[in-house]
Structure 1
Amino acid sequence: MKRFENILYATQGLPGHSDALDQAIRIALNNGVSVTGLIACPAFPQEWAHYQQSYEHSLSNSLQEKVARFRSEHDLSEQQAPFPLLVKHSEQPAICIIKQALENDHDLIIKEAEPLRNGAGGFKALDMTLLRKCPCAVWLHRPTDKPKNKRRVAVAIDPTPSGEAQHALSLRLLELARSIADSCDSRLHLISCWEYYLEHYLEDNSWIHADPQELNQEIDKAKNSHQRALQQLLEESGIAGETVTHYLHGNPDDAIPECVQQEDVDVLVMGTLARTGIAGFVIGNTAENILQSIRCSLVALKPEGFVSPIKS
């Protein structure tokens, strides 16, 4: 099971309705560690500067009251569930959060996702900055009315990675998703997309008269190869428990969000970055398109060795 050793709960101090704080404390308790709180709020202009301190105190007191309520509801002492809290003001809250993670070697950030309007999907600018530039795992929480033991967890997985870093990331995704599913409805939904790479070039092409039977054979080979690769990856990961596999034939940009919606997934676990020819990593086009379409909570991982462009 994936263990986190240094968890950061980050908030802007705005009113929220998800159980992100409760989730952060629960994960810390399950891992036998404490969780640090960070309120990253805006810096007031000079003419309002005399309100800054009282504003920050109000945010701190409000959050500590929520923590105290959690302790009371679960019969926990302050020593059993410590919650050291920092308040920092910045014109760029996302950068403030990332710097805190870098300076203190946090391996997981839990934050309420910025609210969206009119049921739209995707994530707003602050959350996208975290997904693009934060070196550690990021869990963006969205509100749900489901009890915790009814929440569905899915992992988007590519069993045919392009290199060792991507292969290692796939194993980490499976391990983390399995541990989250164990704390929810116990079933882990595996979402994996496959296509024969020449399929759309050869179908209905007036210049290339590909034999339909031969093309179908190649498509079947691609499907079977993908299924074998996923099975091998599952065996290598060593994860146990019930799984529900969704083999999706098509473009992952469209197929994964559709599957997430159809299966009523509450938490999607996925990798967000792709290698490029230049040094470092950037967010992949496929991941970007998926992120802008989903409405559920997201847990995002980057490959080992990712170097954030933000300096601590």
Structure 2
Amino acid sequence: MSVFNKILAVVDPSKDEQKGFQRALLLARKTGASVTAFLSIYDFSYEMTTMLTIDERETMRQAVVDDKTDWLANIVEPLAANSAISIDIKVVWHNRPYESVLYEVIDHSYDLIVKGTQEHDTLKSVIFTPTDWHILRKSPVPVLLVKEHDWPIKGNILAAVDVGSEDEEHRNLNKCITNMAGLMADLLDGHVNLVNSYPGTPVNIAIEIPEFDPIEYTDSVKKHHKNCMLEHAREFNIPESNQYLSEGLPEDVIPAIAKEIDAELVVIGTVGRTGITAALIGNTAEHTIDALNCDVLAIKPDGFECPLKR
């Protein structure tokens, strides 16, 4: 069975070079999946045309869609030349791009979203748009965010797990993350690595309880996480040399290890937090993704449902 059968490549209308679409083509060549180049557009001047008739407004809207369809075809066709991959082009009119992407996924049973990120020319860093974050939080299927890192053969795939948790949902998500990392490693002829962080000694406890031994506490926590990591790795035949365990916050540890091993791809789980807490503080996965300099494949726990409703 193929890892992916139907890939939705989200196109950036402000770019001529579509790195997300190119990455989707690479995966399609290896899996036999079909690819749809998808563009969501909306011209806000359309809101100012209320004096026009319904037919005139529709003609205006369709002209914009047709123009963007031609533009997209000119980009896609050279990249897809001499390829046996099934490729479609779809341009939709919608004032919320992330909603149009998610509705497309739900309505047409895609199993992967691929989207390029935007590079900040001055800071040489990646900027994530509100659309990126909405898709990450709400997508019911894996989301591949493409940065600028190459995917060489024999490269490193890093699975970010939380093996110290006793929570059943976390344990299941760890398995999903590691299994996906293995599938991607098979596709890319790469190596699976595991990374896990563990918390340091709480400062307030060390201060308030004189008899508390912070060294003993830290050693105990580290030992617990190491044993959990070994147990998890055995299930997937991952050698100890490919296991990384460090004290600290996940958003610090994961990018540091990814840089140390020059990872091509990091597979990470997202919990899909929504509402005002997401708007204000985001979550650990988002802080981690922001700090990585390689592609990121974000997946949800089994049973996750998209919160969007028609």
Q: TM-score, normalised by structure 1?
A: 0.81
> What is the aligned-residue identity percentage?
23
Aligned match of 1:159 in 143, 163, 166? 163
Q: CA deviation at 1:220?
A: 1.7
Deviations 1:41-93 (A, max 9, x none): 23363366475144223223223313433xx2xxx4xxx31112211122221
**C-alpha RMSD over aligned residues:** 3.0
Cα 1:130–1:147 change in 2 (3 A) is closer
Q: In the alignment, is the contact (CA less than 8 A) between 1:193 and 1:251 conserved in 2?
A: yes
Q: CA deviation at 1:96?
A: 0.8
In the other structure, the counterpart of 1:297 is: 295
What is the alpha-carbon distance in structure 1 between the residues aligned to residue 131 and residue 17 of structure 2? Answer: 18
Alignment of 1:202-213 (within 5 A): 202-203=205-206, 205=207, 207-212=208-213
**Aligned pair 1:266/2:249, yes or no?**
no
**Aligned pair 1:109/2:137, yes or no?**
no
Cα 1:122–1:150 change in 2 (3 A) is farther
Count of paired positions: 292
Q: CA deviation at 1:208?
A: 2.0
Q: 1:209 is matched by which residue type in structure 2?
A: P
What is the alpha-carbon distance in structure 2 between the residues aligned to residue 264 and residue 115 of structure 1? Answer: 19
What is the alpha-carbon distance in structure 1 between the residues aligned to residue 124 and residue 283 of structure 2? Answer: 23
What is the alpha-carbon distance in structure 1 between the residues aligned to residue 273 and residue 2 of structure 2? Answer: 24
> Unmatched 5+ residue regions in structure 1?
277-282
Whichever structure has more helix as a proportion of its residues is 2
In the other structure, the counterpart of 2:304 is: 306
SS class of match (1:3):
coil
Alignment of 1:162-177 (within 5 A): 162-177=166-181
**Aligned pair 1:136/2:160, yes or no?**
no
SS class of match (1:13):
coil
Q: 2:224 is matched by which residue type in structure 1?
A: S
Deviations 1:245-293 (A, max 9, x none): 22111122322233333443332210111689xxxxxx96322322332
What is the alpha-carbon distance in structure 2 between the residues aligned to residue 188 and residue 250 of structure 1? Answer: 22
In the other structure, the counterpart of 1:94 is: 98
Cα 1:125–1:53 change in 2 (3 A) is closer
SS class of match (1:136):
coil
Q: In the alignment, is the contact (CA less than 8 A) between 1:10 and 1:37 conserved in 2?
A: yes
SS class of match (1:62):
helix
**Aligned pair 1:250/2:251, yes or no?**
no
Q: CA deviation at 1:163?
A: 2.8
What is the alpha-carbon distance in structure 1 between the residues aligned to residue 160 and residue 16 of structure 2? Answer: 27
Greater CA deviation, 221-230 or 131-140?
221-230
Q: TM-score, normalised by structure 2?
A: 0.81
Deviations 1:87-133 (A, max 9, x none): 11222211111110111122211111233341235622111111111
SS class of match (1:292):
helix
SS class of match (2:76):
helix
Q: In the alignment, is the contact (CA less than 8 A) between 1:191 and 1:246 conserved in 2?
A: yes
SS class of match (1:190):
strand
In the other structure, the counterpart of 1:119 is: 124
In the other structure, the counterpart of 1:279 is: none
SS class of match (1:171):
helix
Q: CA deviation at 1:182?
A: 3.5
What is the alpha-carbon distance in structure 1 between the residues aligned to residue 219 and residue 64 of structure 2? Answer: 64
Q: CA deviation at 1:217?
A: 2.6
Q: 2:218 is matched by which residue type in structure 1?
A: I
SS class of match (2:204):
helix
Q: In the alignment, is the contact (CA less than 8 A) between 2:2 and 2:32 conserved in 1?
A: no
Q: 2:211 is matched by which residue type in structure 1?
A: A
